[in-house]
């Protein structure tokens, strides 16, 4: 059967959900009529069998590149993408192609356009198409699982959809979106201006076409779910971290089989397998949670933009505080700019006051007398309040006041955070914990003090200061259980809570009409991180929190307690002045040639010991200096310039027992930047005892 020459036989490229690109296989004659791009096949793989997806086909007689691969080349790819070493050197003999064994689907399971997106994602993020496939398709699909019965239950009663009269600004924005067949839009609207209503009506106007709507994980709460259920009934599939593997498969198959028209979810929903997609919406497009920080380091926002371009459809990016890059590109005309400058029903924006904690009279370590008075007044008037401290736990660390000893994570170069409820010292990077001792491990002293503030501590203090308050805390510790976000938000909606206190989770995606007070207890936490985006994130976070207050009939007030009251960010937060902040910040970015005036690639080198790191990085540094790339330095100007910064120890030097150094590549031209990154990786490929991570378009440099 296989006596034909290899070039005369039909071949297919098969993509497996592993960290590799496609593999080429032969197709037996009896299976050739069944082969379709996007269908699953069973193929021999190593010593066993594996299920993969047909990525593309090559007809008989079509010229095929001989599969002659250098194991050195394989090793380079493996090192770059996973940090693992592959053994062997030199060229291997010609690989004999194997035939696939079975075709498992009569019709394509994965749309061809989605396969193109998967391939683009692997290439753009300097990873592999297989790893992108693994992120895009639930693992159970490759295991032949049919899905499980949903354990997530929402309220049985679906409330009727409220009818709103659109403002003139909303009508104009909606008209621009509806009349377009394709293209990208930035919907820039102040908090409470009715962006969600525009999303809903734009979806309704699509007719039979389908929609992907992405929201940050923390924003996928009772409110957005209920609004979509009331508007679109059972035509919505939900994707979030609370789904079991079986539920995820069930939701995925509903989308694939055309049983629903909308996929509402978090990052991975960008890969929803729709066949007739018409619109993608990215709510709170500035959110960092759209970026995946491990494995395939992709940004769902940017992948969504690529998908819209591949499929020729329209995409809407919405935010009250757009990322500087998005706003810059909108001003340059790369996105259509739509603006909502007023709240619904002309409700006023809340008044923002900066509380100078160096002068203000304090009732406790965490609370000024002024803030406590405002909280008591809100309680007396039957209103609710929000209090944010973007640091969970009870206290950032324990310190021996005799010798200065602090508990640090043995696996990460950070101090451990004390959690009073579990009486443990926890690492928020690797999730390890220790039980503190009554005496100092270093000097045997007994004067151990709690240093700093965490959400548990400010909760305890507030309950002691105003015992009659009904308090609820929302942070990662209180929302581990399934649907815990949903229940907390429900309690707020039903006014079972007087004060909702927590981390940045409370600042985003919520609409509580009875909240009249929003406060930041210790604003200085976010201001001074060693990252060029720290001011932008601070402005966005405080503006988003301020936007939760005064959305009902009563006006809102915002109080930001800080020991740095003259920081320039506060001036713009007080005036709800995004444009002013943008103009100030964009000049700093331009001066330093940071995004959007350049692109970045970050290469992180990981080592198992500090001594090994120092020794090898001397060699790495020498090799980097010897690189003679085909592009000019960034300092010379021009679009082809690239600057290589480092290598140097990462700001967080140790995580999960790996010592970390990093290298930042900065350039205006994406092609030149990738060439530079490839040159660096090529120079490192024979170095042992090193694990390399590549982060294209990093959103933090810690």
Token pair of 278, please? 């018409």
Place of tokens 């935010």: 319
Q: What angle do CA 114, 8, 106 make, to 5 degrees?
A: 40
Per-residue model confidence as pLDDT tens digits over 523-554:
887 776 667 888 899 999 999 999 999 999 99
For range 233-262, the mean pLDDT: 89
For 617, the enclosing helix (H) or strand (E) is: helix 610-626
**pLDDT value for 610:** 86
Token pair of 222, please? 């009772």
Q: Quick check: 240 and 220 in contact, CB under 8 A?
A: yes
Whether residue 490 has pLDDT greater than 80: yes
**pLDDT value for 447:** 75
Label residue 379 by pLDDT band (50, 70, 90): very high
Whether residue 648 has pLDDT greater than 50: yes
Label residue 454 by pLDDT band (50, 70, 90): confident
Token pair of 263, please? 């996929």
Q: How far apart are the first and last CA of the chain?
A: 58
Mean pLDDT is lowest, of 280-294, 433-447, 676-690, for 433-447
**pLDDT value for 155:** 55
Whether residue 80 has pLDDT greater than 70: no
**pLDDT value for 464:** 94
Residues 689, 602: Cα–Cα separation, whole Å? 20
Which stretches of 332-454 are DSSP H helices?
369-380
Q: Please choose, from the candidates 487, 476, 698, the residue with its C-alpha nearest in 3D space to the C-alpha of residue 594.
A: 698
Structural domains present in the chain: 6-142 (3.40.1440.60), 168-345 (3.40.50.300), 347-395+452-585 (3.40.50.300), 599-696 (3.30.70.360)
Label residue 414 by pLDDT band (50, 70, 90): low
**pLDDT value for 90:** 43
**Does 187 or 152 have the greater pLDDT score?**
187
Between the CA of residue 495 and those of 24, 192, 224, 375, what are the distances in Å?
Answer: 60, 20, 18, 15
Whether residue 67 has pLDDT greater than 50: no
Residues 63, 24: Cα–Cα separation, whole Å? 13
For range 7-18, the mean pLDDT: 88
Per-residue model confidence as pLDDT tens digits over 251-291:
999 999 999 999 999 999 999 999 999 999 999 999 999 99
**pLDDT value for 262:** 97
Q: Quick check: 335 and 317 in contact, CB under 8 A?
A: yes
Label residue 115 by pLDDT band (50, 70, 90): very high
Label residue 71 by pLDDT band (50, 70, 90): very low
Place of tokens 């032949």: 144
**pLDDT value for 64:** 38
Q: Is 33 strand, coil or helix?
A: coil
Q: Is 281 strand, coil or helix?
A: strand
Between the CA of residue 129 and those of 81, 116, 151, 675, what are the distances in Å?
Answer: 11, 10, 32, 19
Strand order in the sheet with 417-419: 417-419, 424-426, 433-434
**pLDDT value for 628:** 59
**pLDDT value for 409:** 75
**pLDDT value for 81:** 36
For range 627-656, the mean pLDDT: 71
Whether residue 293 has pLDDT greater than 60: yes
**pLDDT value for 66:** 34
What's this model's pTM, rounded to 2 decimal places? 0.86
Enter the DSSP assignment of 333: T
Burial (CB count within 10 angstroms: exposed 0-12, middle 13-18, buried 19+), residue 432:
middle
Q: Quick check: 64 and 7 in contact, CB under 8 A?
A: yes
Q: Quick check: 450 and 429 in contact, CB under 8 A?
A: no
Label residue 656 by pLDDT band (50, 70, 90): confident
Q: Please choose, from the candidates 509, 507, 508, 514, the residue with its C-alpha nearest in 3D space to the C-alpha of residue 491.
A: 514
Q: Is 567 strand, coil or helix?
A: coil
Between the CA of residue 430 and those of 416, 433, 613, what are the distances in Å?
Answer: 11, 9, 20
Q: Quick check: 447 and 400 in contact, CB under 8 A?
A: yes
Whether residue 419 has pLDDT greater than 80: no
Residues 171, 485: Cα–Cα separation, whole Å? 32
**pLDDT value for 584:** 94
**pLDDT value for 507:** 85
Per-residue model confidence as pLDDT tens digits over 587-621:
999 988 899 999 999 999 999 888 888 888 888 88
Place of tokens 């043995």: 410
Q: Quick check: 289 and 255 in contact, CB under 8 A?
A: no
Token pair of 412, please? 């990460």
Token pair of 373, please? 């008075």
Enter the DSSP assignment of 20: S
Phi/psi at 659 (5° precision)? -85, 135
Label residue 499 by pLDDT band (50, 70, 90): very high
**pLDDT value for 91:** 43
Mean pLDDT is lowest, of 24-28, 170-174, 427-431, 478-482, for 427-431
**pLDDT value for 386:** 96
**pLDDT value for 76:** 33
Summary mean pLDDT of the chain: 85
**Does 184 or 9 have the greater pLDDT score?**
184
Sign of the Cα pseudo-torsion (127, 130, 133, 138, in order) = negative
CB atoms within 10 A of CB 166: 16
**pLDDT value for 216:** 87
**pLDDT value for 153:** 52
Inter-helix orientation angle 670-684/71-82, to 10° = 110
Label residue 152 by pLDDT band (50, 70, 90): low
**pLDDT value for 245:** 86
Per-residue model confidence as pLDDT tens digits over 203-212:
999 999 999 9
Residues 186, 197: Cα–Cα separation, whole Å? 15
Per-residue model confidence as pLDDT tens digits over 28-59:
999 999 999 999 999 999 889 999 999 998 76
Q: Quick check: 386 and 519 in contact, CB under 8 A?
A: yes
Phi/psi at 642 (5° precision)? -135, 135
Whether residue 4 has pLDDT greater than 70: no
Label residue 396 by pLDDT band (50, 70, 90): low
The top-scoring range by mean pLDDT among 47-51, 405-409, 656-660 is 47-51
Side-chain-side CA neighbours of 308 within 13 Å: the count stands at 25
Phi/psi at 377 (5° precision)? -65, -40
**Does 488 or 517 have the greater pLDDT score?**
517
Token pair of 386, please? 């929000």
């Amino acid at each position: 059967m296989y006596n034909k020459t290899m070039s005369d036989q039909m071949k297919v490229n098969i993509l497996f959900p592993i960290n590799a690109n496609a593999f080429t296989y032969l197709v037996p004659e009896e299976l050739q009529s069944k082969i379709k791009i996007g269908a699953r096949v069973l193929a021999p793989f190593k010593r066993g069998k594996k299920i993969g997806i047909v990525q593309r086909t090559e007809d008989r007689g079509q010229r095929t590149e001989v599969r002659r691969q250098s194991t050195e080349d394989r090793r380079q790819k493996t090192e770059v993408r996973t940090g693992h070493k592959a053994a062997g050197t030199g060229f291997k003999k010609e690989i004999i192609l194997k035939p696939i064994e079975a075709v498992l689907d009569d019709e394509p399971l994965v749309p061809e356009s989605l396969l193109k997106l998967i391939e683009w994602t692997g290439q753009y993020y300097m990873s592999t198409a297989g790893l992108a496939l693994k992120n895009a398709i639930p693992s159970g699909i490759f295991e032949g699982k049919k899905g499980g019965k949903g354990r997530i239950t929402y309220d049985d009663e679906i409330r009727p959809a409220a009818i709103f009269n659109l403002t003139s600004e909303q009508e104009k924005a909606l008209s621009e979106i509806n009349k377009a067949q394709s293209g990208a839009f930035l919907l820039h609207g102040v908090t409470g201006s009715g962006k969600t209503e525009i999303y809903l009506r734009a979806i309704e106007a699509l007719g039979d076409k389908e929609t992907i709507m992405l929201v940050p994980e923390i924003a996928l709460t009772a409110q957005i779910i209920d609004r979509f259920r009331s508007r679109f009934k059972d035509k919505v599939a939900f994707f979030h971290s609370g789904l079991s593997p079986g539920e995820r498969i069930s939701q995925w198959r509903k989308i694939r089989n055309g049983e629903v028209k909308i996929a509402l979810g978090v990052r991975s929903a960008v890969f929803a397998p729709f066949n007739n997609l018409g619109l993608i919406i990215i709510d709170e497009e500035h959110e960092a949670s759209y970026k995946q920080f491990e494995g395939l380091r992709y940004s769902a926002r940017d992948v969504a933009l690529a998908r819209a371009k591949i499929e020729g459809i329209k995409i809407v990016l919405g935010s009250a505080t757009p990322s500087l890059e998005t706003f810059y590109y909108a001003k340059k005309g790369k996105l259509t700019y739509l603006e909502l400058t007023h709240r619904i029903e002309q409700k006023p924006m809340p008044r923002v006051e900066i509380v100078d904690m160096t002068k203000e009279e304090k009732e406790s370590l965490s609370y000024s007398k002024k803030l406590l008075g405002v909280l008591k007044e809100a309680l007396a008037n039957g209103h609710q309040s929000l209090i944010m401290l973007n640091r969970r736990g009870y206290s950032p660390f324990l310190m021996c006041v005799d010798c200065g000893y602090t508990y640090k994570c043995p696996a990460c170069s950070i101090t451990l955070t004390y959690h009073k409820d579990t009486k443990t010292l926890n690492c928020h990077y690797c999730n390890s914990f220790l039980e503190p001792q009554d005496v100092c491990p270093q000097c045997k002293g007994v004067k151990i003090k709690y240093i700093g503030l965490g959400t548990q501590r400010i909760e305890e203090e507030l309950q002691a200061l105003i015992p009659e308050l009904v308090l609820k805390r929302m942070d990662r510790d209180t929302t581990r259980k399934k649907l815990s976000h949903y229940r907390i938000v429900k309690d707020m909606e039903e006014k079972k809570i007087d004060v909702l206190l927590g981390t940045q989770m409370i600042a985003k995606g919520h609409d509580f009409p009875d909240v009249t007070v929003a406060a930041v207890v210790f604003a200085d936490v976010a201001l001074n991180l060693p990252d060029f985006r720290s001011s932008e994130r601070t402005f966005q976070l405080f503006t988003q929190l301020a936007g939760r207050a005064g959305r009902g009939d009563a006006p809102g007030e915002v109080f930001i307690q800080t020991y740095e009251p003259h920081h320039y960010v506060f001036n713009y937060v007080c005036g709800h002045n995004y444009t002013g902040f943008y103009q100030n910040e964009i000049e700093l970015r331009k001066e330093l040639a940071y995004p959007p005036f350049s692109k970045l690639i970050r290469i992180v080198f990981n080592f198992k010991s500090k001594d090994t790191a120092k020794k090898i990085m001397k060699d790495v540094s020498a090799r980097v200096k010897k690189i003679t790339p085909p592009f000019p330095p960034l300092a010379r100007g021009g679009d082809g310039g690239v600057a290589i910064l480092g290598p140097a120890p990462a700001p967080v030097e140790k995580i999960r027992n790996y010592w970390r150094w990093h290298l930042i590549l900065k350039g205006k031209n994406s092609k030149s930047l990738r060439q530079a990154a490839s040159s660096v990786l090529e120079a490192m490929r024979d170095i042992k005892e090193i694990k390399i991570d590549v982060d294209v378009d990093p959103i933090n440099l810690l």
